[in-house]
Structure 1
Amino acid sequence: MLDPTQVLAYIIALGLAAAIPGPGMTALVARSVSGGALTAFTMLAGLILGDLIYLSFAVFGLAVVAHSHSEWFLLVRWCSALYLCWLAWQFWRHEPQTLFIEQKISKRELVSAWFSGLTITLGNPKTIAFYLALLPLVIALDTISLQTWGLMLVPLTIFVLLIVGAVFILGALKIRHWLASPRAQHVLFKGAAVMMVLAALGMVAK
């Protein structure tokens, strides 16, 4: 099991890494403005799942497997980069529009939000760097058991990311009327597009 010092270090490191503006949180804010709370929290669920996948990679030493099957992971990186570019194109082409706060959200939109969140995380160089490079400096991964992973690290990761994501979502919703103006939408979605492109370039470069 992790001692209190390691738990605290992990919470602080993960919280800071998540709070630093990047493609994930930028897209989350944009989705909060355009789709509302339900869509945003659905996207957050996808973002969190992506983090849990990389956490599992780090804990169970699958980074070694990645090096052993480099062709497969190269394909995954390119697919992630292409999808991020597609998202960037969608954000860039977004036309400012009147937002209806009480509009109904379709299941298709929720699935799209969830999948976008998952893919953005899997293609986010910042997330990869945290779990595969920085995490081993915070926690001695060779001492982590399946029980510790399932009963401590997974719940802690979900809790921290949920708190940080909720702050971004609720903050965006609080000023949604301001962000919904044509000028604010233009800046927000163009900024999100740039973030997606940078993340895609980071995936390819890595």
Structure 2
Amino acid sequence: MTTMSLLDVILLFSVMSLLALVPSASVALVVTRSSTAGFPHGAAVAAGIVLGDLVFVCLAVLGLAVMAEAMGGFFVVVKYLAGAYLIWFGLSLLRAKRPTLAGTRDRSTSSLTVSFFSGLILTLGDIKAIFFYASLFPAFVDLSSISATDLASIVVITLLAVGGVKVGYAYAGVRVASLAGGRGAGRGAKVAAGGLMIGVGAYLVAKA
């Protein structure tokens, strides 16, 4: 039995898609490898990034589920703190300056395995991602009674949202290498993601 509603699934997918769209080091790597070594390399980097995200997703969800069971009612406090963090994160996105892709170009055409592991290592090196996921998921699933269906749903959402966006960037990198650094697109994605994160944070606080 799942504890995630259709609205929860839609909101989680939207949040993860928008955040994957925000120009970042991972986007720069996908676009660079795709534009300099071909689409398969960009897609391989995207696959590595998704695998890294899935590692963090599972660690966050399973770890929080254990915490919720052990802490009982006190876990409500954790939800309030998580909501406050998401609101702060959204505000920081709204205030952030546009990142640049300058200096990230790499003309090497190494193996797809190297491209894959470059995406994986880049993602796993961002340890703060697990704290972000730990703040995000309580808004969408009751971690004290999470089911295998819930976990499977979150994994599928991660694959479709993060993987879909990163592969899209890989394709765009072949067509227009500078697309990920576009001023209007980058700023628009940050505003949308920031606003949605603030909304999710408020939703989490209200749901707690």
Whether these two folds match at TM > 0.5 is: yes
Alignment correspondent of 1:166: 167
Matched, 1:118 2:140: no
1:94 Cα shift?
A: 6.1
User: After alignment, is 167-176 or 111-120 more displaced?
Assistant: 167-176
Alignment correspondent of 1:9: 11
Distance 1:157 1:93, change over 3 A: closer
1:39 Cα shift?
A: 0.9
The 5 Å alignment of 1:67-106 reads none
TM-score for both structures, normalised by structure 2: 0.59
CA displacement 1:7-60 (0-9 Å, x = unmatched): 011101111111111111111111111211111111111100001101101111
Alignment correspondent of 1:51: 53
Identity %: 29
SS in 2 for 1:139: coil
The aligned amino acid for 2:54 is L
Distance 1:58 1:94, change over 3 A: closer
8 Å contact from structure 1 (residues 57, 63) kept in 2 = no
Matched, 1:39 2:41: yes
Query: What is the alpha-carbon distance in structure 2 between the residues aligned to residue 48 and residue 148 of structure 1?
Result: 18
Q: Between Structure 1 and Structure 2, how many residues are aligned?
A: 144
Distance 1:167 1:18, change over 3 A: same
**Match of residue 22, structure 1, among 21, 24, 27:** 24
1:171 Cα shift?
A: 1.3
CA displacement 1:37-93 (0-9 Å, x = unmatched): 11111111110000110110111117989xxxxxxxxxxxxxxxxxxxxxxxxx959
SS in 1 for 2:23: coil
Query: What is the alpha-carbon distance in structure 1 between the residues aligned to residue 60 and residue 18 of structure 2?
Result: 19
Alignment correspondent of 2:149: 147
Return 5+ residue gaps in structure 2 as ranges.
68-101, 182-208
Return 5+ residue gaps in structure 1 as ranges.
66-90, 100-104, 185-206
